[in-house]
Amino acid sequence: MAVGTGRTDLIIEFNGDKFVLELKLKRLPSAKQKGLDQISGYLDKLGMKKGWLILFELKPSSIVKWKTRLKWKNVSHQNKKITVVEM
């Protein structure tokens, strides 16, 4: 879905609710901050306060084990509630 001049990666509409997701590859340490800024901007344009940021680890599971790779955290960023999922 195009939002302003950028594009959000995924919006799911289910039973009248909308779920906005930003997907990022963890290529650089700044990926999380960039993703939080992006999803916050998309949420502003959509008039929403909650979203999801999904960060994908590029290193194989032989290097970064699933026990340490998989993380869920609710954060507040620019007055938005964002669930950050790292995998």
Residue 69 reports pLDDT greater than 70: yes
Residue 12 reports pLDDT greater than 60: yes
Domain count, the chain: 1
CATH code assigned at 8: 3.40.1350
Q: How far is CA 34 from CA 2, 20, 48, 72, 82, in A?
A: 18, 16, 19, 18, 13
Q: Would you say residue 85 lies in a domain?
A: no
Q: Would you say residue 86 lies in a domain?
A: no
How do 6-7 and 71-77 pair as beta strands? unpaired
pLDDT at 35: 95
pLDDT at 41: 93
Q: Closest Cα to residue 20, out of 31, 29, 45? A: 45
**b/e string for 33-72 if b means 16 or more Cβ within 10 A?**
eebbebbbbbbeebebeebbbbbebeeeeeebeeeebeee
